[in-house]
Chain A
Amino acid sequence: MARVVVMGGGVSGHTAATFAKKWLGSEHEVVVVTPNSLWNWIPSNIWVGVGEMKKEDVTFSLAPVYKKAGIDFRQAKALGIHPEGGSTHGDKPYIVIEYTGQGKEGQKEELTYDYLINATGPKLNFAATPGLGDANGMGEFTVSVCTADHATHANHELQKIFHKAKTEKQTILVGTGHGMCTCQGAAFEYIFNIEHEAKKAGVRDNLDIQWISNESFLGDFGIGGLHMKRGGYAASSRLFAESLFSERGIPWTIGAAVTQVEKGKAHYEQLDGTTGVIDFDFAMLIPPFAGVGLKAIAKDGTDITDTVFAPNGFMKVDANYAAGAYENWKASDWPKTYQNPTYKNIFAVGIAFAPPHPISKPMKSPSGRDIFPTPPRTGMPSGIIGKAVAHSVCDLIKQGSSAHLHEASMAHMGAACVASAGKGLTNGTAAALTVYPVVPDFETYPGLGRDLNYTFGEIGLAGHWIKHILHHLFMYKAKLNPGWTLIPE
């Protein structure tokens, strides 16, 4: 019997674990180690953040679902990886975990594995910007919508602002809280949902809603922008986004790194080196992501973290990390199998894998500060990658080490995104977008690196319905209800 250990129970980890268990059956063991007792459909957190959904609507308890699936669930956080084994386990590799629930809080345990899937997701690195959030993301000065709890807190603070706005002017600032953030899409959705809710609450006239981000042009979204083919030609996401922001009366500050947050003040530096301060009464600023800080230890006890992980804390996989400057970047730099190059029984999926380089053009301010989006690895791609890796691991277990590894390169993968701009059955709005490939392939598609024949974009009420339907579909799928495998990632 082989044991597959999955570290992390987010979109990619849950997908990998559930498919691995389905394909391996009861002959082999699948263990999920995650510090959270709840699964969270993160794309809907923005609706929790404006009070249109409750935490219970976007989460469910993992334990009964994993019990039903036959997956061994450990509510614990992983502390370190011993890929060569150790004194108590011989050559058998293992991870060290520390329980955060199940009545074993604080207890440490060594968990051996045959195959390890790292799906820890990111550490929300609030500390990278002084004053941004705190260790729990619920700081004194800003809020976040990165988790369901953060979003609940954000809504609590937002409602106070809406209440004040009935009698006095208030300023809301939404965007990215560091020069190298990703997830601009979540902030994009949140600002338009706030604007939508403000109109419903009758306080829009008293709200100055502003956008700040590290994108060098509006609509970059961390993927160098995208193009929506409509009416026979491709419209840039920059034109689309500028139109939407203008129409909703939202001014923007771009090419900006938030450098410090104080009570009611966000300090920033822009790409041209100028600095500024935006006063706010409410701010939701996305933090940068980092690896969760796992250590890797060799059999002799030496620290091999640098061998297994990239400097940013994400796990090295079969990517080309020596691509060098922007002009040398190729689609083939991106990983295909997500297998660790040193330890072939370790894989990393979702945000946990180290990308070879950004997707957006890297840019610096005159002071040398990096100001550009880092690449997103969330949503649809992370689910697809999780499933492909589960497939590879199952084949390795069943067919041996010569088994063909399944590939899911983001440079050969399209993605669909539905970005909400306001929730409501009859007055909601969302932009439905597709992009192919996610990572530009400049050799196959010179210029933009994308195939414009596979791009599409539309905004309207129908987009909101799709977003809402997808929320229920993915919650249904994640709960492993009948027919869950039929719903695509």
Chain B
Amino acid sequence: MVQELVIYPDERILTPCGDVRSFNEKLIDVLEDMKDTMIANDLTALSAIQIAFPYNIIIIKDDNGFKEYINPRMIKTDGKVEVLEKTLYYPNIEISIPRYETINIVYEDRNGNVHYEEINDIQKSSTMQRKLDYLFGGTFLAKVPKFASDSAIKALASGGLIATEEICPLFSRKDYFVSFTDKVLFFMVIALGITVIKYSDLKPWISIGFSSVVLLMIGFFFYAQYEAKKYKQCTSCQIGNNIGVIVKRLSLGLIIFAISRFF
């Protein structure tokens, strides 16, 4: 029976899928429904969650017909490549996605027998990876920077977009703000010590230092926000971390400044 497809913005696509445990009539019904749906919609691949069935099932159609992959696991990868992809969930969106060139899959058939397959055809490999992402509660937009996914979402109404890809940098420029702030704080501590032992009154310098810390952290905040939008995949770009960085340094600067006022 042809089933209704899960299409954006239907969020059921984000449901993580469970493993198939029983290889029974129910499974066969689902597999047949998936094939019927693929034929009716002229599809070459489908994961079960795309018809709102949250289990680890993928069907890919090739020259030999429909091939069923139950509980597939990608255990080996080789080579990296950018693939221009489309998917049914986001109609009219075409976007460049980082994928592995060759993958090795372990899966079961409808009878629960285990099979192994090396997929080195780039189209089939990227299709399998895209369908696997669905099984784990993600779409291909999770693989691209946030600015690209935002652009894609905006473009859905107007039909079609090719976004460029940027990878997460190993060194973030926002760290320059943090590094410089730490140095200012270090000199503020030294200035405080000199002031406390009454060797010299460096309170004006402490005030300048504190003002600098405030300005640097404001700069850090805005630049970090820019990077968080640019590099969606970076877990270190989360706003919680950025706020933590700011709060720590502002607190320390404020404490040094406040103590200096007593001397």
Contact = CB atoms under 8 A, between A and B. Distances in A.
B235 interface: yes
B114 interface: yes
Contacts of B64: none
Q: Chain B contact residues: over half helix, strand or loop, or mixed?
A: mixed
Contacts of A235: 16, 137-138
B75 interface: yes
A411 to B, nearest CB: 15
A274 interface: yes
Given A247-B234, A327-B22, A460 B244 contact: yes
Nearest to A425: B248
Contacts of A364: 114
A273 B233 CA distance: 33
Interface stretch (A89-97, A155-163, A238-246, A476-484): A238-246
Given A247-B236, A447-B17, A459-B238, A216 B136 contact: no
A255 B106 contact: yes
Given A227-B16, A233-B11, A271-B106, A216 B137 contact: no
A461 B142 CA distance: 23
A239 B170 contact: no
A462 interface: yes
A216 B18 contact: no
Nearest to A242: B136
Nearest to A440: B18
B74 A217 contact: yes
Contacts of A243: 233, 235
A448 interface: yes
A238 B234 contact: no
Contact of B241 (A232, A238, A270, A461): A461
A442 B236 contact: no
Interface residues of B, number: 39
Looking at chain A's contact residues, the main secondary structure is mixed
B15 interface: yes
Nearest to A199: B170
A219 B229 CA distance: 25
A236 B136 contact: yes
B23 A366 contact: no
A216 B138 contact: no
A462 B240 contact: yes
Contacts of A29: none
Interface in A410-450: 426, 429, 442, 446-449
Contact of B235 (A224, A244, A449): A244
B78 to A, nearest CB: 11
A216 B73 contact: yes
Interface in B99-127: 104, 106, 114, 116, 118
A250 interface: no
B47 interface: no
A217 B103 CA distance: 13
B25 to A, nearest CB: 13
Contacts of A238: 136
A270 B76 contact: yes
A234 interface: yes
A249 B170 CA distance: 9
A361 interface: yes
B106 A216 contact: yes
B21 A442 contact: yes
Contacts of B104: 270, 272, 274
A361 B235 contact: no
B19 interface: yes
A363 interface: yes
A246 B142 CA distance: 14
A239 B137 contact: yes
Interface string A246-269: 110100011110000000000000
Contacts of B168: 246-247
Contacts of B76: 253, 255, 270, 272, 274
B50 interface: no
A154 B120 CA distance: 40
Given A247-B233, A364-B114, A234 B75 contact: no
Nearest to B232: A243
B54 interface: yes
Interface centre among A235, A274, A429, A461 (most CB of B within 10 A): A461
Given A233-B14, A459-B238, A363 B106 contact: yes
Nearest to A421: B235
A254 B116 CA distance: 15
B244 A271 contact: no
A235 to B, nearest CB: 6
A458 interface: yes
Contact of B23 (A274, A327, A462): A327
B147 interface: no
Contacts of A244: 235
B153 to A, nearest CB: 14
Interface string B164-192: 00001010000000000000000000000
Interface of A: 216-217, 224, 227, 232-236, 238-240, 243-244, 246-247, 249, 253-256, 270-274, 326-327, 329, 361, 363-364, 366, 426, 429, 442, 446-449, 452, 458-462
Given A216-B106, A272-B75, A449-B18, 6 more contacts: A216-B75, A227-B137, A236-B137, A240-B235, A363-B106, A442-B21
9 contacts: A235-B137, A247-B233, A247-B234, A247-B235, A274-B104, A329-B21, A449-B18, A458-B240, A460-B244
